[in-house]
């Protein structure tokens, strides 16, 4: 199912004015962002129901209720996110930002037939985001132990392609499931490691989005921007291996355009586009057996970016490749590859680092 179809499905589970907001934002926000908004809004409106602020269905929650919410009630909701749902301060900020966008629309943009705003009062404007005081250096250091380095890129790819199957040759179910999907799984891993694409961009790819002659893929980036992103030669080879078996292996008709599809399931043996969670679980499975359980889809993207910067030292090009709106986000990878600082600290006490001794 394409992202926009999932957005339609989720938005129908929300009040009419939220549905209207989602519809208005389709021109400026990516389907992946809108889907995240819908999930965040469902959590918020379900919390209102659980707290007894409205007796009825989620879709029937009136604008009047939002108009009368207090700052303390919103603070209670944020506390619920952090301590009951175990959301990090950054995740709480993201959910609060989604609500701020909705309430801003209801007060300052939407209007009734009488030219009156939907809301007279915007409580979200009175609530501040969490102050997250991690600098880029701290973020980089946290990330460094959770990504692939040096020979691990190819080692992990080889493990997905062959090593995992060798590990479970005695387990017929796991072994045959790996044989069924290893070309697909290797192509996904190789494409992320060879391009730095986001999870939503990988999920949204159709076969027709690939240009194998130009080593590029057409993707819809954040902000609903279309862009052609290059991938590596190894990714090309793994994609070709997967495409050679894709149609027959997954029993596909010409009408199914999704690049990465699930194994045939159910009595009819139907297939569908892989979901974001399916790809996440696939990566988690291989990462755990490979010995790097912290590795995730996003960490594979970080791995690509770190390697790209180390080999090319071109932040503007890396920014474009990753689709970052701000160059400050891309600058994190300059900290991940800053070995000079470590050598300087090592030398302070008269103990040169191993790298210095070998130079």
pLDDT of residue 320: 80
pLDDT of residue 29: 79
Name the active-site residue from 184, 307, 324, 335: 324
pLDDT of residue 128: 86
Name the active-site residue from 298, 317, 320, 343: 298
How far is 333 from 337, CA to CA, in rounded Å? 7
pLDDT of residue 238: 95
176 is catalytic: no
3-state secondary structure 71-109: HHHHHHHHHHHHHHCCCCHHHHHHHHHHHHHHHHHHHHC
Enter the tokens of residue 90.
Answer: 């950054």
Cβ atoms of 181 and 264 closer than 8 Å: no
Enter the tokens of residue 8.
Answer: 């339609």
258 — phi, psi (to 5°)? -55, 135
How far is 212 from 5, CA to CA, in rounded Å? 28
CATH number of 140-341: 1.10.443.10
Q: What is the CA radius of gyration of the chain?
A: 24
pLDDT of residue 131: 67
Name the active-site residue from 95, 182, 184, 301: 301
2 is catalytic: no
pLDDT of residue 351: 45
Q: What is the DSSP letter of 129?
A: P
pLDDT of residue 254: 86
pLDDT of residue 308: 75
Cβ atoms of 195 and 304 closer than 8 Å: yes
17 is catalytic: no
Instruction: Return the domain boundaries, the chain.
Output: 3-133, 140-341
pLDDT of residue 355: 40
For residue 129, the number of C-alpha atoms closer than 13 Å in the C-beta half-sphere is: 14
Name the active-site residue from 95, 198, 221, 307: 198
Name the active-site residue from 4, 146, 222, 317: 222
39 is catalytic: no
3-state secondary structure 8-50: HHHHCCCCHHHHHHHHHHHHCCCHHHHHHHHHHHHHHHHHHHH
pLDDT tens sequence for the chain (359 residues): 466 788 899 999 999 999 999 999 887 777 878 888 999 999 999 999 999 999 999 999 999 999 999 999 999 999 999 899 988 888 898 899 999 999 999 999 999 999 999 999 999 999 988 765 554 454 545 555 567 877 888 899 999 999 999 988 889 999 999 999 999 999 999 999 999 898 989 999 999 999 999 999 999 887 778 889 999 999 999 999 999 999 999 989 888 999 999 987 766 667 889 999 999 999 999 999 988 888 889 888 888 887 876 777 677 787 888 877 666 666 655 555 544 444 444 544 444 444 433 33
Q: Express each pLDDT in 74-103 by its tens digit.
A: 999 999 998 999 888 888 988 999 999 999
73 by Cβ neighbours in 10 Å (0-12 / 13-18 / 19+) ranks as middle
- Strand runs labelled E in 125-215: 210-211
The secondary structure of 307-358 as a DSSP string is HHHHHH--HHHHHHHHT-SSHHHHTHHHHHT-HHHHHHHHHHTT---HHHHH
117 by Cβ neighbours in 10 Å (0-12 / 13-18 / 19+) ranks as middle
Cβ atoms of 210 and 194 closer than 8 Å: no
Cβ atoms of 228 and 218 closer than 8 Å: yes
| 202 closest CA partner among 283, 254, 147, 275 | 275
How far is 126 from 302, CA to CA, in rounded Å? 35
Long-range contacts for 67-71 (Cβ within 8 Å, ≥24 apart)?
67/119, 67/120, 67/121, 68/121, 69/123, 70/123, 71/123, 71/126, 71/127
pLDDT of residue 328: 65
324 is catalytic: yes
Beta-sheet strand order (sheet of 210-211): 210-211, 216-221, 225-230
301 is catalytic: yes
Name the active-site residue from 37, 250, 286, 333: 333
Cβ atoms of 183 and 335 closer than 8 Å: no
């Amino acid at each position: 199912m394409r992202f926009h179809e999932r957005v339609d499905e989720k938005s129908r589970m929300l009040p009419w004015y939220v549905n209207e907001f989602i519809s208005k934002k389709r021109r400026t926000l990516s389907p992946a962002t809108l889907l995240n908004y819908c999930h965040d809004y469902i959590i918020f409106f379900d919390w209102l129901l659980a707290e007894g602020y409205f007796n009825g269905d989620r879709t029937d929650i009136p604008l009047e209720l939002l108009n009368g919410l207090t700052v303390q009630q919103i603070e209670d909701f944020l506390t619920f996110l952090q301590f009951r749902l175990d959301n990090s301060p950054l995740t709480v900020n993201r959910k609060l930002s989604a609500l701020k966008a909705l309430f801003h629309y209801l007060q300052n943009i939407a209007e009734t037939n009488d030219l009156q705003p939907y809301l007279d009062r915007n409580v979200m404007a009175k609530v501040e985001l969490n102050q997250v005081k991690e600098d880029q250096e701290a973020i980089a250091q946290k990330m460094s132990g959770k990504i692939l380095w040096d020979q691990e890129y190819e080692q992990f790819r080889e493990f997905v392609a062959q090593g995992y199957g060798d590990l479970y040759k005695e387990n017929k179910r796991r072994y045959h499931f790996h044989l069924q999907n290893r070309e697909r799984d290797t192509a996904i891993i190789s494409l992320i490691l060879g391009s730095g694409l986001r999870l939503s961009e990988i999920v949204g790819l159709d076969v027709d989005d690939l240009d194998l002659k130009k080593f590029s893929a057409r993707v819809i980036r954040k902000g609903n921007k279309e862009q052609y992103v290059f991938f590596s030669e190894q990714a090309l080879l793994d994609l070709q291996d997967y495409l050679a078996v894709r149609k027959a292996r997954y029993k596909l008709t010409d009408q199914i355009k999704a690049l990465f599809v699930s194994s045939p399931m159910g009595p009819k043996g139907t297939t569908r586009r892989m979901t974001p969670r399916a790809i996440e679980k696939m990566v988690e499975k291989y990462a755990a057996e490979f010995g790097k359980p912290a590795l995730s889809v996003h960490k594979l993207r970080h791995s690509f970016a770190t390697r790209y910067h180390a080999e090319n030292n071109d932040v503007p090009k890396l920014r474009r490749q990753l689709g970052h709106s701000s160059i400050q986000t891309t600058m994190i990878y300059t900290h991940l590859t800053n070995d000079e600082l470590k050598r300087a600290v090592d030398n302070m006490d008269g103990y040169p680092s191993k790298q210095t001794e070998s130079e």
